[in-house]
A and B are shown apart, each in its own frame.
Chain A
Amino acid sequence: MISGASMEIEEGGDDASQSCELDQLMVRYQQADPAAAAALIERLSPRLHWFFASQMGSRTDADDMLQDLWLRIHRVRHTYRPGQPLLPWVYAIARRVRIDTYRKRSRMSREIGVDAVPEPAAREENQASRLAFHELLATLPEGQREVLTMLKVGGLSLEEVARATSSTVGAVKQKAHRAYERLRSLLLEAPKPRPAPIAEAGVTSHLLSTNSKEGT
């Protein structure tokens, strides 16, 4: 049943129809359809895990927050309105989970006198490429990092990021521009990576895929 639902989504077409499928899955989840609930978890969890990992730095934290997020989503699933885009609703809750976790950890670290909140740069990733991207993100202010992650990993549109962050499209654009300026200057300062021709490596197509609605 679950795999059937997943298959159904895999065959989805463009961003709009995939987004529509997610919305439909959510509606079915509200109606207590177990296959839809499972499919939604499968579809959304990777990008949400990455969102948490890029914000908090630790895989363990990301695991905990993902678990917490789904419990919250389950508790407030009735507040999703059919016909509205699902991703801003999910990311708004995810953002809140991240903030709560960060503040709880900060309070604990103050109380027990140790650094319980991991620095963004202290990563657990092994792959060099991920590490580089993580490190780049870690240099950005929190707001810019959040916007960039939602845009480039979450696959949200500017309008959806604005909704998720209770902000305006203009403010989101400004944050993204500043983030890119900062990344650009850092990349110019950093030593050159291994030569990898952009066109041959299919970088643009990769970027395209990460920016799609389903960029998992």
Chain B
Amino acid sequence: MTCHDMEVLIISSASAISTSPEAAAHIAGCESCARLVRELGKGGQASQPSPEQLDRIKATLLADLNPAKPLPPAGVLVLALMFILVVIAAVGGAALGIAGWTALSLLQKITIFTALAAGAGVLACATAWLMVPGTRLTGSPYLYVFAVLGLMAAICITLFDPHEESTFVSTGLVCLRIGLECAASATVLFWLLLRRGSILNPILMGATAGALAGLSGLAVLELFCPNLNEYHILVWHLGSVLVSTFGGLAIGTIAEYSRWRRPPR
């Protein structure tokens, strides 16, 4: 047995050290491992909080002890977030019309709205995970945000053709405004749900929820806007998702810094 094998044993399961004859033999012959095991063993001699302090904590908590209803399962939260997104898209489509939906071909409709649903599902899952401390993450939510934005951009480049447009900025600004208004509405509704959770990383949550809200704006724009110019969709439609993501990031950053600004107890 090597010193590296000993480290693997210590990390994975300390009980293996006491039960493995090889480990015992190695410790007996290796000064380095022997001292490592000995010093790590001293870690158990933890400093204790005083009984008075524990009594104070108990008194504080017990004075305000009411039943607390646990958060619903992650699946329910994901469905709730998706429902908000669908409501925003439906209300936006009803209010502004669905000229964009009519202009899209069948392939474009299927591809865009399937990708939107998949992207929203991924971001809704990440948002639901971030509401609960100690949840196992299958990947970085930042990665999900980049992946969703990248997927939508790739679909746009593949499905639409670019062409010159004399009113590129003026029409684009209208789309950007609509996208951001829908994203802001979605953010308000998301917040009603997110405030129930315990957000330990406001910056990450801000970016993820911001991107999710941006997708609601994108859905409304794809329903409403009949302009199929690739540049228009890339810059103004996806731009609204990007602005929404950075907006969420900024709000999260402000929340994070305001936490530090509070005076210590």
Q: Which residues of A are in contact with B by a Cβ distance under 8 Å?
A: 30-32, 34, 37-38, 41-42, 45-47, 49-50, 53, 59, 62-64, 66-68, 70-71, 74, 76-82, 84-85, 87-93, 95-96, 100-101, 103-105, 107-108, 125, 127, 129-130, 132-133, 136, 149, 151-153, 158-159, 162-164, 166, 173, 176-177, 180-181, 183-184, 187-188, 193, 196, 198-199, 201, 203-211, 215-216
Contact = CB atoms under 8 A, between A and B. Distances in A.
B14 A208 contact: yes
Which 9 pairs from chain A and chain B are nearest by CB?
A210-B44, A88-B134, A50-B46, A211-B14, A92-B133, A76-B198, A89-B134, A78-B68, A206-B41
Given A63-B49, A204-B37, A45 B44 contact: no
Interface in B8-34: 10-15, 17-18, 24, 27-28, 31-34
A127 B70 contact: no
Contact of A180 (B14, B17, B36, B43): B36
Interface of B: 3, 7, 10-15, 17-18, 24, 27-28, 31-50, 53-54, 56-58, 60-62, 64-71, 73, 131-137, 196-198, 200-201, 259-265
Contact of A132 (B39, B44, B137): B39
A163 B135 contact: yes
Given A63-B49, A66-B49, A207-B40, A41 B61 contact: yes
B136 A210 contact: no
Given A153-B44, A183-B39, A216-B46, A70 B260 contact: no
Given A32-B66, A78-B70, A158-B11, A198 B34 contact: yes
A132 B42 contact: yes
Contact of B47 (A32, A41, A59, A177): A59
A162 to B, nearest CB: 7
A31 B134 contact: no
A206 B11 contact: no
Given A45-B57, A66-B49, A173 B11 contact: yes
Contact of B53 (A66, A87, A90, A105): A66
B47 A125 contact: yes
B47 A67 contact: no
